[in-house]
Amino acid sequence: MSNLEIFITNPISISPKSFYPRNYNPNFLLVKDGMKNNPTIKDYIAGEIKGGSTPPAYLFTSVGKGIPFIKTAAVTRHFINVNDLQSINEQFHRTKIKRSITRPYDVIYTMTGKFMGKAAMCPCTISEMNMSQNSVVFHNNSREEAAFLTIYLNSQINRIQVRGTYSITKQKFMNQSKIASLKVFQYDAKYDYLMGEYLSAFDTYYKSVEAIKRIIEQFNSKHNLVFSDEAQYGFVVKPNAFEKRMLAPNYYRQDVSLTINGVVDGKDSTILDPERTSKGDEVGSANYTEEGIPFIKTSDIINYDVDYEPDCFCPEYFVSQLGQGIKKGDIIFAKDGKPGEIAIIEEDSNVVISSGLVKYHPKDDEERYWVFLLLASKYGDAYFKKWFVIASTMLHLRQDFFDDFKIPEINDEVMADYINPLKNAFEKKRTAYETIRAIKDKVEKSFTDTNVDLTKI
């Protein structure tokens, strides 16, 4: 949705090269004039800006069996969603699209469509990756400058600059030359300390995400969970087991039942408490704003948390009007679109979740991390596959899921092997995220306030 803006422009300043009104917005002109003598992106990069390319479908492989490949939707401000990566053929990556090979601390910048204008560095946990044609990559002269540029490119000042710079074909678009010409603030030694802290927190953040993924894989392996994401084409259902109320093949898959039974057989269990379970709401696109309360959709679940700088915001009064009561520590998961996307809300910041998401309020830390693990593992995936149906071309989770999802009791082994390690990994991840945000806020403030103390966080 576009907001209506009214402003007055001197006719002398209008250029025949462009009649886009946004090019004459007072805020854009102020930034453009104030930064005309500043350096540009190309002054901070080694070589040229390189655009990605989307391979043919047959060159995509099973996740983890090729080179990680990032879509524009997986790039958020400062972070990439490592749980939303695809994989492509390694030979194609090294030959046909070697120009856009991306390594740790290279900056990825989105250049097309509704996701345009977001920057994030490649994590230290991914040795090489590649990207779609909707993003570009540039290699910086140093890691510190890469971190500084990531902060600047995501800043409000650069967003104003981009708003008056991009072209419109069928959608918003910035080519490599326009990106290279973006004005930036001068990097100098006064930022060295903060950039060192930023990079340290950045590494800790992604290492924590990898630690969480390892714990999930440990759970899958220990219980020998056989469920696979790959379609099952050859299985037989006995006629007396067939139920007319459920016509979805996944309901009858043997690996679904074997995976579920492999965890719950012979164990006392409960189900998700309906009193602590609720679904989100829609606020309507007419109520989207550029700032306010983050409105979280399925695509805003990243790295087992949510994006607190999403594409959509809503007015603050929606928090009380909808009465969702999202709290730190709540688990949310997708029931529509991509059933099974899981997150733990890791801060007290107000958010509003969409109707495609479900909130579960755990009674304590033990239940929080145990339910998260069950939902995020193959055990949870088997339940999601068992109970999803397709309507209006979209996946939807049936209400039966909530009556069927069994939560085995917590014992000493579960505490030692899973809950305590998960708690530790999530705490490290949250601390790293808070450090990154604090540094980002301080550096952004220094762009307009020369009195900011850059010698400490």
Domain boundary among 187, 219, 252: 187
Please report whether residue 367 resides in a domain: yes
In angstroms and rounded to an integer, the radius of gyration of the C-alpha atoms of the chain is: 24
Q: Are residues 23 and 85 in the same domain?
A: yes
Whole-number pLDDT of residue 233: 57
Q: Are residues 65 and 170 in the same domain?
A: yes
The encoded tokens of residue 250 equal 């996944």
Average pLDDT, stretch 222-241?
Answer: 72
Summarised one tens digit per residue, pLDDT across range 309-352 is 888 888 888 777 777 778 899 999 999 988 889 999 988 778 88
Distant-in-sequence, close-in-space partners of 413: CB < 8 Å, separation ≥ 6: none
The encoded tokens of residue 191 equal 């930022």
Q: Which of 397, 312, 304 is nearest to 351 (CA)?
A: 312
Summarised one tens digit per residue, pLDDT across range 169-209 is 777 888 999 999 999 999 999 999 999 999 999 999 999 99
Strands 301-302 and 293-296: unpaired
User: What's the chain's average pLDDT?
Assistant: 90
Q: Are residues 383 and 280 in the same domain?
A: yes
The encoded tokens of residue 254 equal 């043997």
Summarised one tens digit per residue, pLDDT across range 115-174 is 889 999 999 999 999 999 999 999 998 999 999 999 999 999 999 999 888 887 777 888
Average pLDDT, stretch 420-444?
Answer: 97
Q: Which of 402, 411, 340, 334 is nearest to 370 (CA)?
A: 411
Q: Are residues 262 and 380 in the same domain?
A: yes
Q: Extract the runs of DSSP E, i.e. beta strands, from 29-95.
A: 45-51, 60-61, 67-70, 86-88
* Virtual torsion, Cα 76, 79, 84, 90, nearest 10 deg: 120
User: What CATH number did the domain enclosing 231 receive?
Assistant: 3.90.220.20
Q: Are residues 19 and 141 in the same domain?
A: yes
Q: Are residues 373 and 242 in the same domain?
A: yes
Long-range contacts of 381-387 (CB under 8 A, 24+ apart): 381/227, 381/229, 381/340, 382/225, 382/227, 382/255, 382/256, 382/259, 382/260, 383/260, 384/339, 384/340, 385/227, 385/250, 385/253, 385/256, 386/250, 386/251, 386/253, 386/256, 386/260, 387/251
Cα distances from 342 to residues 125, 338, 401, 415, in angstroms, run 21, 10, 15, 20
Distant-in-sequence, close-in-space partners of 236: CB < 8 Å, separation ≥ 6: none
Q: Are 140 and 2 in contact (CB under 8 A)?
A: no
Please report whether residue 201 resides in a domain: no
Q: Are 186 and 38 in contact (CB under 8 A)?
A: yes
pTM across the whole model: 0.91
Q: Are residues 165 and 233 in the same domain?
A: no
Domain boundary among 133, 152, 187: 187
Strand-pairing partners, residue 306, are: 301
